[in-house]
Amino acid sequence: MATPFNPVQAVPSKRVHRLRAFWTRVTEGLELEQLWGQFLSEAKASYGLYSRDVDWDEVRRTSRGPGRIWRSAWALFQALLMKLSPARRVLLLLAIALLIFQPDIRSADHRFSIHLGGIGTLILFLLLALELADRVTMKRDLEIAREIQQWLVPDEAPAVPGFDIAFATRPQNTVAGDYYDSFLRPLPDASGTQPLLIVVADVAGKSVPAALLMATFQASLRALSSTSAPLEAVVAGLDRYARAHSLDGRRFTTAFLAEINPRTREMRYTNAGHNAPILRRASGQIERLSVGGPPFGVPLFSESEVAYEFGSLQLGPGDLLFIFTDGLVEAVNDRGEEFGESRLIPSIQSAPPELAASTLQRVMTEVNTFVGYARQHDDITCLLFRVSA
């Protein structure tokens, strides 16, 4: 009986190894199922990008059937086309025409001919190379911006006896509009204790514009906190600055700020339009910290400043405070379902007595598992603060 032909065995082992190494480098070790899920997620996101430029009301006025399908495809193609520069639009149209009509140029004596369909393919590769070059250049600039942004947030929390602090952030793009911080104010209070300030903020919008305003928010907070001003004055100063640079309210900032006395464990806080943090007491009781006011930078109808309210509470051993941005609870899976507080709160409530970083890692893993291959639509930032038992 003849042995079945195995094409892999027919290739020298070194070549097989090179092919496998090349495939691993191309796929970054992802399985075919993972690659397909990633492709579907990216295709869905791209469709959303182009469909925003389509007048769907006009498309719906077309009668159902092939006419509407053609009208939809044509509208999406125009949306894609207009994302290119004028010169690249002309090249793309030329390439498509050459590929569709497949013209030939023949000599008078028919001794040679040039098939222009191949030129259309070369033009498409040229356009792909140009677009990739632009993407690589932009990505390099964004990576530099990301490095600068990372300088503005702490790598690790300050070591404060009796407290355990951890934070995690994941930008939707290379740079983010979320901000977190935790530091001891340099000037002690009346009792001689340096207050601990923790903050999580979310600038409206995404990517570079939000990241630039996040940087100005960080600079303002650090400057105001370096004085002996009370928390009320710090908050008022942040709101004044945000309103002066909010672009008529289009770039407001939600934030949660808390000042904690490490000696007495008393905490004062204000919530400027932010998602209400979750305070889980050692007993398992859940409290939401919502006392405060509107987001920083919201336009006012009068010249008077916003009167932010401040909450005060006493922290005890075993208490856990979880502060997060809306990107966490609004993370969606491929079915369009949100992670939601209905999943977050039980996760916080059941957290065992462990390091803050371990609890935070477990929450982020649960979000990752829920989201799967779906593309992230917003920045995600969390800060977890635990009082030692």
- Which residue do the tokens 């492709």 mark? 39
Residue 291 reports pLDDT greater than 80: yes
Which residue did the predictor score with more confidence, 223 or 146?
223
The fraction of the chain above a pLDDT of 90, given in percent, is 34
Q: Return phi, psi of residue 293, to 5°.
A: -175, -160
Amino acid 303: pLDDT: 61
Amino acid 210: pLDDT: 76
Which residue did the predictor score with more confidence, 241 or 289?
289
Amino acid 366: pLDDT: 92
Q: pLDDT digits over 352-362, tens only?
A: 888 999 999 99
Average pLDDT over residues 5-20: 66
Mean pLDDT for all residues in the chain: 84
Which residue did the predictor score with more confidence, 156 or 142?
156
Amino acid 7: pLDDT: 47
Amino acid 271: pLDDT: 96
Which residue type occupies 57? Answer: D
Which residue did the predictor score with more confidence, 135 or 383?
383
Task: Give 169's strand partners.
Answer: 381
Q: pLDDT digits over 151-194, tens only?
A: 777 788 888 899 999 998 888 776 667 889 999 988 777 777 89
> What is the reported pTM?
0.71
Amino acid 110: pLDDT: 64
Q: How confident is the model at residue 224 (pLDDT cuts 50, 70, 90)?
A: very high
**What is the set of domains in the chain, with CATH numbers?**
10-105+113-146 (no CATH), 154-387 (3.60.40.10)
